Amino acid sequence: MRLEVKISGLPRDRKNILILSCPEPSLAGVVAVEYLIDALSMEEIGAIRITEMPPVIAVVNGAAKLPHRIFYSRQAGIVAIRQHVPIPPQIYAEFIHKVLDWAEENKVKLVACLSAMPAVGDKESDKVYFVTEEGLVEKFKQYGFEPIKEATVAGLEGAYLDAVLDRSIDGALLIAESKLLTAIKRLVDSSKVTSHRDVLLILNDLVGRVGPDVGAALKLVDAVAKLAETQIDTSKLQEHASKYAFLVEKNIEALFKPPAEAVAQTRKEIPLVF
């Protein structure tokens, strides 16, 4: 795969960390990256062209942009990749390897991929979990993050971790518990939803109506602030997160209720007596 990085300039500063989002249904990582860019007034310093992808152009205030753009905050030492369109799964592993090549060349200290998962317990906590290289586990515990005790990581997150383990650059997967994904898991566990297709339909419907999981995104933004040892104002995200939690709960409650027509029909039925 040809991946061209067009960049106006990135200081080779050993304190720089690179943040990107892992593709997952709640879109929490995507929201976290976009919020970081806005909250830190990050400067756009470049873009990534992926020749294997069909031409897609993002439009920002009338300007044509490549869909994968690179932003930088010199003060916070954070580099972020904003993805307007997802990377196709079949080329994701190669994309990550190319990005890590670029990060190593530019002396980036740490690469963190942001993701989300259903709650480990009965309800979501404010914890952020991590998976990293063995020699970095204690360091990430000191940030206040919780290690994933035992699991098998596959898919796109697995591709990211596999690419990190091959290199000298430090890398970690940071995972926040998502109210949206927890709600979907409740539906699956209750046997209200049984097929993979139905899960995807409900996910797409919920994200379309209530939006990405800003609650999980808020936890991820706070986690990045710890990594960069900087302050990030999350007041706007906090306000939106509380409203989001309410909307998700209401929509999931509706899915657990039997359809109104079915209830009405049941009431009208009179058993025949012979």
Q: Is residue 182 part of a domain?
A: yes
**Tell me: the pLDDT tens digits for 168-220?**
899 999 999 998 888 888 878 877 767 777 777 777 777 767 778 889 999 99
Q: Is residue 207 part of a domain?
A: yes
CATH number at residue 62: 3.40.50.10900
Residue with tokens 């942001």: 114
**Average pLDDT score over the chain:** 83
Q: Is residue 190 part of a domain?
A: yes
Q: 60-69 long-range CB contacts below 8 Å, 24 or more apart?
A: 66/6, 69/44
Closest CA to 143 of 80, 231, 75, 228: 228
pTM of the model: 0.84
Q: Is residue 52 part of a domain?
A: yes
Q: Cite the beta strand spans of the chain per DSSP E.
A: 3-7, 17-21, 43-50, 58-60, 63-65, 68-73, 78-83, 110-117, 128-132, 146-147, 170-177
Residue 145 structure tokens: 């993050």
Instruction: Name the least confident of 19-33, 36-50, 101-115, 176-190.
Output: 176-190
- Consecutive H or E run containing 66: none
Q: Is residue 10 part of a domain?
A: no
Residues of the chain above pLDDT 90, percent = 39
Q: Is residue 262 part of a domain?
A: no
Closest CA to 165 of 193, 135, 189, 195: 135
**Tell me: the pLDDT tens digits for 217-233?**
999 999 999 999 999 99
Residue 128 confidence (pLDDT) above 80: yes
The residue among 251 and 171 whose pLDDT is bigger is: 171
Residue 273 confidence (pLDDT) above 60: no
Q: Is residue 274 part of a domain?
A: no
Q: Is residue 4 part of a domain?
A: no
Range of the domain at 32: 15-256
Instruction: Name the least confident of 139-153, 158-172, 195-209.
Output: 195-209
Count structural domains, the chain. Answer: 1
